[in-house]
Each structure stands twice: as C-alpha cells, then as structure tokens.
Structure 1
C-alpha cells in the first residue's frame, strides 16, 4: 500500500464521539504512549480521556478518566510531560501542573501577565517552555521553577514549538503595538504616542491617534544560546506551529485561509495549502501518518481538511462535526491509523481507518453512508461496523 498518498490509508471515519464538555472544546493533545487524550474547553475544565486499546475499532471504548475543574478561566492549552506523568494546562495567564494519574493540582504558575497561548515540553523532559500574549517566553524546569527566560520579546506569542532534535525554538505571533492614549492624556502630559505618524485619512480628518496594524512574524531561535537565527514577516495572523518529527519542517496556520509548510534547514517556504477557513478563530493543524506525509487541519466551516505533504494535494474534506469551528486536530503518536479533532460543538471525534470490508472504494472515494456512529453517550460511543 502506498501510504504516502493512498486515501484508503487515511483515518477518515468517525469511530467515537466524546461528549462531556459543556462548552466549546479548544485544544487536544495525546499522551506520548497514545493511551490518553487531554482536552481543553471553554467550560473551564480539562479532561483526560482513556482511549481503549482494542484492535477492532468496533470494540474500542473511551471514558473520561479525570475531569480537572480547578480553573478560574477557560482552558486554552494542554501539554503532556515526556513520561506522561504531568499534564500542563493554561487558563488565561495561569499555568497549572497536574498529576495525570490522580488529578491533583501540583502547582499553579503565574509568571505571565496576559494569556498563555503556548505550552511545550522539552524533548528530553527536563522542563517546558511557555509563551504568552505578554511577549514573554519562559523556560521552566520539570518541577515548575523558572530556569531561564527570553525576556520581553518584541512579539505577542500566539504559539511556539521546540524541534525534536533540541536545536531550535520556533515561535509565531504579532509584534506589539502600544495602545495610543486619548488626546486629553497628551494634553496633560500623561502619555506619549509611540506609534508611527499617519498623515491623514484622505478626507481631511486626522487619524494620528489610530494605531497601526500589527505585523505578523515567525521567529526562529537557537535553543542553546537563545539567540535569534531568523525572523520572517508574513501577512495574516499566525495561529499554530508544529514541527515535523525529523525537525526539518515547520507547519503553521495563517489567516484567512492558508497553511504554510516551511523548510527550517533551507529557511524557505516549501508550499502553501489552501481550502480551510480561519478568519476569526485560533485553528491548529498537525502532521500525521507513518512518515508524517499527511497534513491535517480544522476549519471554521466545521470540517477537517487533509492534504498530502509532499504534493500539496487536498485528499479529503471530512464532515461530521456540528455548527462552529473545528479548532484543533491531533494525531495519535503510537497509532498511525488514528487522530482526533475537537470543535465548537462541544465534542471530540476519534477518526480511524475503517476495516477493508466495511467500505467500498469507487474512483478513489469511499462510501461512508453505512458507517455513521450507532449512538451517542456520555464519554463513549461504540461504533458498530457493518460486516465486522
């Protein structure tokens, strides 16, 4: 089987729908052993789901193992430690460290002053890095103590990632534009306009106090020295960054409707992928498949989009989620035939490759009409396959 481009190798059928969250689900992350899935929601909870290990999807069960409720705000990020013992969550400016087995909150970190938009563990498990809209990038040890910092950077960080080979930190975001104080503050000497002057609006009315639009950047740092290797200015807000397992490629979402594949070694854009929408919300994408040859992304139209990495071909548009955005997708690190997606419809979907006798291929497309989930339940759905 040519797993690099054959649609039949892609997990494109929903086998389970997870329904416990009471509001939009914003982010998901698999444990490194592939047995658990963490989800972050607008309902101020994070859930650790146990994913059944049965070989037949029709027999697989999922259940909420732990519901982590002690968040004062909506939960935006989740990140597993390398040994899966600790789960990090972020809620506004706070970071919480949880014992992933007991559900006990080990520590709450409040070094950020604005929303924490990114959490990622170091490849060796010795600590983790956080990034926020306060322009801070902080390095923590595995106990939650600050080890180092990039200080106040020039960019409001929307996401960041560390390359698996431990060489680079890649961050995306927008530069900081200081708010312009009202005119009366200038008159009384309480403020200073730091934005560049704007001559006029064209109709004679002054717009000198209108701030400029922020510019969007991808910045690559040498991880050991913390020195900037390169910075690339890009049009459109950047909302997600993933690095391939071989540390060569960076994948980021760019509004309103593109995903960019960047060659980190060559320092150049490889290709643009189009089709999905992301005009208003944070949408996340990922690599997937045996060799990372699939690229998967959510979209504001409620669908999941699938491309072939090396050709850029759009392979599938997967429907099933309800109204609203599909916010994040995550590929199971131990099962190349499974990924998950989460949505504004309050649910998480598990997608798998169907049994070969459960569908027919016609001109490269599958007949999904008889593969709908047989029912919905709180925390688990058993998929009954025809012919299984």
Structure 2
C-alpha cells in the first residue's frame, strides 16, 4: 500500500473503511481494524460523520470513470479509423469544402410521428420542407431545419411507398404512390390539397419520379411523372392533364424503382427480375439492360456529371464524357448485399461489397466524389469514387432498424439549374464550360441528408 498511497492517503482510506463498517452495523470488524492500525480514540463521532459515505462515493466515481474511459476509447478507435481511411483532400478544410462533406453521427434531428415503418423521404426543391411516407398510409411534412412536424397529409388507403417533389416551372407539386394502386398529386402552395389522383396501374405503385425537361443547365420544368409498379410496367403521366401518355413494358416482374436523368432524356428502372434497364423516355425504347445482380434490385440512380471524371477512371477511360451528356453512369443496389456501378451501355464497372444485408437506398454526392448507401444492416456507408470505390466511412447505427430510404437535399443556386428527377438533390445540369461551372456547383451544395427507417424515425444529417 505504501508504494501506491502516501501515508495521508492511507490514513484517510482507513478512516473511510472504519466509517463504512460502522454505518453498515459491523462494529466488531470496525474495532478490529481500529486496534490493528492503532487509530485509538482519534476516531470519534465527528470523524465518523466526516467520512460517512466517502467510500461509496469514491467507488461509484471509479465505476463511472471507467465507463467514460471505455466510451472515449471507442470514440478514439472510430475516429482513428476515419483518419486512416481519409484522403488528404478530405482532411484539408473538410468543414469548409461542401464537395468533401460526409454525414456524421449523431443526426441533427430525429423526427418522430409516424406509427408504422417509413418507406420514403423527399425534399422540397426550394423551401426547408421534407416529406416522408409510411406504411401508416400518411405523408408527413416536416421543417427539416427546425426539426418540427408541419402537417400530416391523408388520402391514401394503404401504405405510401414513395414521394417526390417536382412538376411544372413555378408550380411545385408533391407526388405520392401507394399499395392502393394510385398516384396522388398534392399542392404544397394550397395546404397540400389533393388536386389529382392518377389511377391506371394494376398493382402496387412502388416509385414515382418527376422527369425534368430541357437541356443541361436549363430550369427543371417538366410536366411529366414516371411511375414504377408491381404490375411490371413503368408509366409516364402528364401531371397537368392526369393522362397516362406512355406505358413501358419489358421487366418480367415487379418494378421496384425508377429514376430520371438530369435532362429527362433517360429513365432507369430496376426490380424483382434482378435486372436494371435504361429507357429512352421520349420513345419508351430500351437502350441497355444491366445483368449481374443475384437477387432483387431495390434501388437505382444516375450518377451526376460531377462524378464523371472519377467514374471514367474506374471504367478505364482516358477521357471523361462531357458534363452535358446524360445517362453515362449509374448505380444499383440489391438484396444480394452489393452495389454495382455501370456505364450507360450496360458494362459493369465496379461491385461495392460491404453491406451485411439488403441495400435499400443510394445517392451520389453532388460533389461527385462519393456514393452513399443505406441498407437493412442499419448502416449508412460512404464509398469514395476517387479510391476505386473504397468504403471510407460507416455510420454503424444510422438507425435502430432497417434503413429504407435516403435523399440528398436539393442544391441551392442563384442561377437556375436543373435538378435530377431522382431528386437526390444534385444539381446535375452542370454546363460543360470548364472549372467555373464546377466551382459554382460545389459552392451550391446543400450538405443535408434525410433517411427513413423501419424504426419509425426520419433522421436529418446536416453540416
């Protein structure tokens, strides 16, 4: 004891033990210790009261500190892992450069109100509104900046499977689709009044996406909406008339997801037949079929032009396609636990392995360097396209249950820019006019991600 405690510390410990034994009704043990250490009459009632409870306090403090130390060691290990996998670029000015921003735990807001699993989320292109759809048949509108529920939108009679903002220029609409076989259009400027219901699909409608129109860099002004269904078809609707203008057939099973290129020229679909397919949105003709997954494909998305230079390197190309060209690269996520990156001709470029369960959602970073995924392993994973798709960051407990969906908030620019019909929030219409355009895109990136889960929570990750 003398090697560890000073004489004064040893004396205080002995007095604390005697006080503890006395209070614990162990007088014989207390007297034996007093005689053995020869403390004698120096230990009176006043001294006992002074040392009462001291031993217990010290003991609980040590346990609490040990727990804190273990938590800190865990945090250090995680941060060291992030540091080891970070690139020099991401370390330099990581907080200042939106193009290198990645989501971090904890989430800024955890939004709670749904009574059944959340299936989809979508950001309003202008305001700080976030829509979430659920198996509880409702759509909830949140202010994602404040973390507050604004309203609950009711109308569907079965679970809501997808939502998307878009529509005619100057008249943003919210589209939703459901297991009740319908698509509904809601007007955010009129308290989310249901202005139109689009019947026509013969089974559950799995996904809806507005289709932008116009050349790259032009404002998104499309009146068209694409939908994917369990009836094996993709339908294109005119939201101003409510008519179905085209039905695209080709999938052999349930079509789970649909996405539009930034200029609206191409549609990408994927589903239970384990294929993804690229279509000409004007004619409905197939351009390419993507074969390689070994299970249902849950999600698909186009890569933004900002990612072309990195994906061109992955594909072994000496020169990246022009930023004005759409449908050059895309990604799919599957129940086979993998993510596959393809070129627009159907060639597999890279398979990303890391998820321990179904991959349920994908979004490209607007800056072009990363692909972010979520899945039923409860994680969010960030893949670095500049490091051949290496997983450089994992949020292990993004949610407490399966993570069903992910969206990136639309980028905000002073000049009008086309947003991806996928509404992953990228400003994808980067004009091919050199570094100034790219710099403008980086400056406009809105570093906000929303996810939804079977745990009934919507989470907002923001810088």
Q: Normalising by structure 2, what TM-score?
A: 0.61
Superposition deviation, residue 159 in structure 1: 0.9
1:103 aligns with 2:103: no
Q: Among residues 277, 287, 309, which one is paired with 1:219 in the alignment?
A: 277
Instruction: Provide the residue aligned with 2:173 in structure 1.
Output: 86
Q: Which secondary structure does the structure 2 equivalent of 1:310 belong to? A: helix
Q: Among residues 347, 352, 371, which one is paired with 2:457 in the alignment?
A: 347
Maintained 8 Å contact 1:255/1:277: no
1:115 aligns with 2:204: yes
The one-character-per-residue Cα deviations of 1:263-306 (angstroms, maximum 9, x if unpaired) are: 21x53222111212334xx71111124x2322111121212111
Work out the CA distance in 1 between the residues paired with 2:392 and 2:402: 20
1:51 aligns with 2:130: no
Q: Among residues 13, 36, 42, which one is paired with 2:135 in the alignment?
A: 42
Uncovered stretches (5+) of structure 2, i.e. residues with no partner: 1-85, 96-100, 214-221, 306-325, 412-444
Uncovered stretches (5+) of structure 1, i.e. residues with no partner: 53-60, 176-215, 354-388
Q: Which runs of 4+ in 1 moved over 4 A?
A: 1-8
Provide the aligned length of Structure 1 versus Structure 2: 301
Q: Among residues 278, 296, 321, which one is paired with 1:237 in the alignment?
A: 296
Q: Which secondary structure does the structure 1 equivalent of 2:386 belong to? A: coil
Work out the CA distance in 2 between the residues paired with 1:271 and 1:321: 25
Instruction: Provide the residue aligned with 2:442 in structure 1.
Output: none
Q: 1:114 to 1:4 in 2, by over 3 A?
A: farther
Q: Among residues 262, 266, 271, which one is paired with 2:342 in the alignment?
A: 262
Maintained 8 Å contact 1:34/1:332: no
Instruction: Provide the residue aligned with 1:16 in structure 2.
Output: 109
Superposition deviation, residue 241 in structure 1: 0.9
- Find the structure with the greater CA-based Rg: 2
Aligned-residue RMSD, C-alpha: 2.3
Work out the CA distance in 2 between the residues paired with 1:16 and 1:68: 21
1:33 aligns with 2:126: yes
Superposition deviation, residue 51 in structure 1: 2.7
Q: 1:328 to 1:162 in 2, by over 3 A?
A: same
Q: 1:231 to 1:320 in 2, by over 3 A?
A: closer
Q: Among residues 357, 362, 378, which one is paired with 1:278 in the alignment?
A: 357
Q: 1:227 to 1:333 in 2, by over 3 A?
A: same
Q: Which secondary structure does the structure 2 equivalent of 1:295 belong to? A: strand
Superposition deviation, residue 63 in structure 1: 1.8
Structure with bigger strand share is 1
Maintained 8 Å contact 2:272/2:295: no
Maintained 8 Å contact 1:80/1:87: yes
Q: Normalising by structure 1, what TM-score?
A: 0.72
Q: 1:263 to 1:336 in 2, by over 3 A?
A: farther
Q: 1:148 to 1:322 in 2, by over 3 A?
A: closer
Superposition deviation, residue 151 in structure 1: 4.8
Structure number with greater CO (CA < 8 Å, separation at least 6) is 1
Superposition deviation, residue 321 in structure 1: 4.3
Query: Aligned ranges for residues 133-152 of structure 1 at < 5 Å?
Result: 133-143=230-240, 144-151=242-249
1:302 aligns with 2:360: no
Q: 1:322 to 1:172 in 2, by over 3 A?
A: closer
